[in-house]
A = this chain, B = another copy of it.
Amino acid sequence: MKSAQDYKDSIRAMRPVVYAFGEKVEQVADHPAFAPVLNSIALTYSMARETENENLLTAKSPFTGRMTSRFLHICQSPEDLIKRCELSKFMTPFHGACIGARCAGTAALNTLFATTHDMDRKNGTDYHQRFLKFLKHVQDEDLTCSGMVTDAKGDRSLSPGKQADPDVYLRVVEVREDGIVVRGAKAHQSGAALAHFNIVAPTTSMRENEKEFAVAFAVPPNADGIIHIAEAPAPNARRLSNNDEMDFGNYEFGVHGSTLVIFNDVFIPRERVFMCGEYEFTADMALTFGAFQRLSTTGCKSGHCDLACGAAAVAADYNGCEKMAHIRDKIVDMSFNSALAYGAAIAAGYKARPTPSGVYVPDNLLVNAAKLQAVEAVWLASKLATEIAGGVICTVPSKKDFENPDIALYVDKYFRGKADVSTENRVRITRLVEYLAGQGSIVPTESSHGGGPAAVQRLMIRLSSNLNYLKGRAMKMAGIK
């Protein structure tokens, strides 16, 4: 399997077309809005090679017969799903941000494995073999795949086929003997510019008159006609003017690095096309992708809350507040809410349903409840960690203040908490809380939408709650005939 350095080198060599903050990026691997994500993804490679993690970060592929990254693994049992969720929870306290393309990548690979199998079974197509070949390739080469689903969407009150600009949903504009040509965009693609392949799939169910939008394929991020445009949230802006590690809380990893990915009539060769017009499979596909994505998102966000617990607890120690009842209570609330999300996700894996292809899909009710709760937990953690850390989260000065001899003594003296803790350390943990609470990062805002918004999860809960059975039981108990 690849080393972290191998991964970085291979990305460095790809040179996709990327713009950030209005300028063309020469080398994405070196740009401050992407390099931290490169570090996060590299961490998935280096940690996979550590013996104590091998059971979690790798799994044996039945297709290659060799150990493969769990991010590329097809989940063939509840245990596989649970491990996948645990993996995200375990890693987040190490990076505190986003491992880029890799989560959606697992979701996309598993979804296509299942859907190509179903399409072939019904229609006699050969998508599954094409996909298997592609899968073996990425497993053999230990490649990073992103999952690309969310379209630009335009007017949210209109379906894909009714938009003023048909391109706001990615679509096939030409079918050729040797492949297809696609146009449109995929939005909010975490780490897409740092992957070896982007796996594209429809974002929602399509109707018969929307066949052109029912398209799935794999494409490298540097393919002809693809342009990446970087997100520019407030926290990223800080990286343009400041390189003082101490000011960031999570300097090494703390960036999401998503891009808007524009497909400007991009040719996709036939062997990498995994759906083309089979609209009747898109509903199930979106549901399956969502279930996988919510499973790992929940693990990740629970891990984020865990890290916030740790950071807030250290801040309380440094302030001398660690024994106060209200501080302890706040940390319990953070743990409790994180545990609920995590627990529901584990249960979603445990109660997974097998599909005809052999892929196990997380239980719909539980995995949607898990994600909905994960977002609650993240926002609550932001609020509580802020309360625990104190007003200093807003007012802590910069590293350069600590270095300016005119004022260094004063900032050291007056920003000190407990006498035996260095002011620098108090500042460092404060910066981490600032980062985790969403003032110095996009984690909370991103959590609200990554893996789909609350309204979708609530809809899925409604559709999955077995209400008719329960109505029957209530009627029986009440003596209704």
Contacts and interface: CB of A to CB of B under 8 A. Distances in A.
A467 interface: yes
A182 interface: no
B467 A309 contact: yes
Interface stretch (A69-77, A126-134, A353-361, A424-432): A424-432
B404 A23 contact: yes
B445 A386 contact: yes
A59 interface: no
A24 B311 CA distance: 32
Interface stretch (A5-13, A211-219, A283-291, A337-345): A337-345
A151 to B, nearest CB: 9
Interface string A403-439: 1101100110111111100000100110110110111
A6 to B, nearest CB: 25
Task: Specify the main secondary structure of chain A where it touches its partner.
Answer: helix
Interface in A114-158: 150, 152, 154-158
Contacts of A152: 413-416
A80 interface: no
Interface stretch (A171-179, A273-281, A453-461): A453-461
A134 to B, nearest CB: 27
Contact of A185 (B163, B264, B394, B414): B414
Contact of A188 (B323, B391, B449): B391
Interface in A247-268: 247, 249-253, 256, 258, 260, 262, 264
B340 A467 contact: no
B165 A93 contact: no
Given A94-B473, A369-B343, A471-B314, A247 B232 contact: yes
Given A307-B477, A329-B458, A346-B347, A340 B314 contact: no
B477 A96 contact: yes
Given A391-B448, A437-B438, 4 more contacts: A237-B238, A332-B462, A375-B383, A391-B450
